[in-house]
Amino acid sequence: MFVRDWLLIGLFWFGLPMPVGAEAVTLSCYGQMKQGGLVLCETANTDAVLVDNGTREYEIPVNENGIATIGIHRKADLQLTVTAKSDPKVTESLSLTARDDPFRTIDGLDCDKIDARTEEQKAHASRSWVKKQTAFKTFANGEGARNGFIRPSDGPASSPFGPARKYIGVGKDGKPCDRTSVHQGYDIAIPVGTEIIAPAPGTVTLGDPDLYYEGGTVFLDHGDGLVSVFLHMSEVDVAAGDKVEAGDRLGASGNTGRTSGPHLHWAVKWRNPGTSERGGDFYIDPALLLDLSPAP
Ligand SMILES: [Zn+2]
């Protein structure tokens, strides 16, 4: 056999990108690369991605459209590595933008509404807690974030996601009270009775007119682990199991539960659909979902 023939055999063999039968593994991530943001990774030929943010490693399943939906914690490390589970060589290193959330003090808290004090209030609060935890454990299928989100109501944004807030007030007994919390949602200042619409398609997993802290509440599961939470509503017009499209009416805004005035509190929780362990779930910034860059 001539040398040229060996060369041709070599070219034939090594020129093939993959052994016959194997498909190329791909990974391409886009979205809001910011603390509190959301990253969508389009993949091929892997059923999960491995995420490493420096302090935590976890696995996120890829949905039937080849997309892995990765929530970014508001305190996440600024470097995130995403790797295809089926091929460790297929990996992307993402640099995240840091948040700079302020600290605010808010006066005028109704101390008697903060903590459940009477037996009846305590029972109401614990029933409400069970309803929320049960809803957060259910997962619906849906298109997730890939077609973007719209604002659930017109009206000025009155309080963004992220700031730590210290509420102070005086109770009926004349004693001062305070509570510090991180604002985990996006507030829209609108009068009681303003229509609330679905920001993206989804399945209702909780519709309750009277949770203790939250008041009238709707949970809307968009799929891929993303659930929108709407609080303080005066009317709840949907029930668990209802399927809605973006723009469909969910109810009306109000001033129910623990509030300092009429507004809609819209929050979005990211949950990893690949685990039954709910301790790693967290809220992300809804405003960033209104500006999700499309796939490149
Ligand atoms: Zn709020």
82 CA from centroid of ligand 1 (Å): 32
Q: How many residues does the chain have?
A: 296
Q: Name the burial class of residue 24, with classes exposed (0-12), middle (13-18) and buried (19+) by CB atoms within 10 angstroms of its CB.
A: exposed
Task: Give yes or no for a contact between 135 and 127, defined as CB atoms under 8 angstroms apart.
Answer: no
Quickly list DSSP for 32-63. Answer: --BTT-EEEEEEES-SEEEEE-SS-EEEEE--
Q: Pull the structure tokens for residue 158.
A: 């009155």
For the segment 262-288, the average pLDDT, to the nearest whole number, is 96
Return the pLDDT at 115: 66
Tell me which of 4-8, 57-61, 154-158, 227-231 is least confident. Answer: 4-8
Is residue 68's pLDDT more than 90? yes
214 CA from centroid of ligand 1 (Å): 10
- Residue 30 and residue 145: Cα distance in Å, rounded? 12
**Half-sphere exposure of residue 56, counting CA atoms within 13 Å on the CB side?**
10
Tell me, rounded to whole angstroms, the distance of Cα 43 from its chain centroid: 21
* Kind plus residue range of the DSSP H or E element containing 14: helix 3-15
- Residue 245 and residue 62: Cα distance in Å, rounded? 23
Q: Pull the structure tokens for residue 136.
A: 């957060």
* 3-30 pLDDT, tens digit each: 555 544 544 555 555 555 578 999 999 9
Tell me which of 101-115, 127-141, 198-212 is least confident. Answer: 101-115
- Residue 153 and residue 264: Cα distance in Å, rounded? 8
Is residue 174's pLDDT more than 90? no
Tell me which of 12-21, 91-100, 241-250, 287-296 is least confident. Answer: 12-21
Is residue 53's pLDDT more than 80? yes
* Kind plus residue range of the DSSP H or E element containing 222: strand 215-223
Q: Name the burial class of residue 131, with classes exposed (0-12), middle (13-18) and buried (19+) by CB atoms within 10 angstroms of its CB.
A: middle
CATH fold of 3-95 reads Immunoglobulin-like (2.60.40)
For the segment 27-43, the average pLDDT, to the nearest whole number, is 96
Q: Which residue has the higher pLDDT, 56 or 27?
A: 27
Distance separating the N- and C-terminal Cα atoms of the chain: 50
Q: Which residue has the higher pLDDT, 21 or 235?
A: 235
246 CA from centroid of ligand 1 (Å): 21
Q: Pull the structure tokens for residue 66.
A: 């080849």
Q: Where does the pLDDT of residue 1 fall: very low under 50, low under 70, confident under 90, or very high at 90 and above?
A: very low
- State whether the Cα torsion 98-104-110-111 is positive or negative: positive
Tell me, rounded to whole angstroms, the distance of Cα 78 from its chain centroid: 19
Q: Name the burial class of residue 186, with classes exposed (0-12), middle (13-18) and buried (19+) by CB atoms within 10 angstroms of its CB.
A: buried
232 CA from centroid of ligand 1 (Å): 9
For domain 103-289, give the CATH number. 2.70.70.10
Is residue 245's pLDDT more than 70? yes
CA angle 202, 203, 209 (to 5 degrees): 115
163 CA from centroid of ligand 1 (Å): 11
Output the average pLDDT for the chain.
Answer: 90
285 CA from centroid of ligand 1 (Å): 12
For the segment 55-78, the average pLDDT, to the nearest whole number, is 94
153 CA from centroid of ligand 1 (Å): 14
For the segment 46-73, the average pLDDT, to the nearest whole number, is 93
- Residue 102 and residue 99: Cα distance in Å, rounded? 10
186 CA from centroid of ligand 1 (Å): 6
Is residue 184's pLDDT more than 50? yes
Q: How many CB atoms lie within 10 A of CB 42?
A: 17
Return the pLDDT at 242: 98
Return the pLDDT at 256: 96
**Half-sphere exposure of residue 294, counting CA atoms within 13 Å on the CB side?**
1
Q: In the chain, what are the domain boundaries?
A: 3-95, 103-289
- Residue 227 and residue 294: Cα distance in Å, rounded? 20
- Residue 97 and residue 172: Cα distance in Å, rounded? 44
Is residue 217's pLDDT more than 70? yes
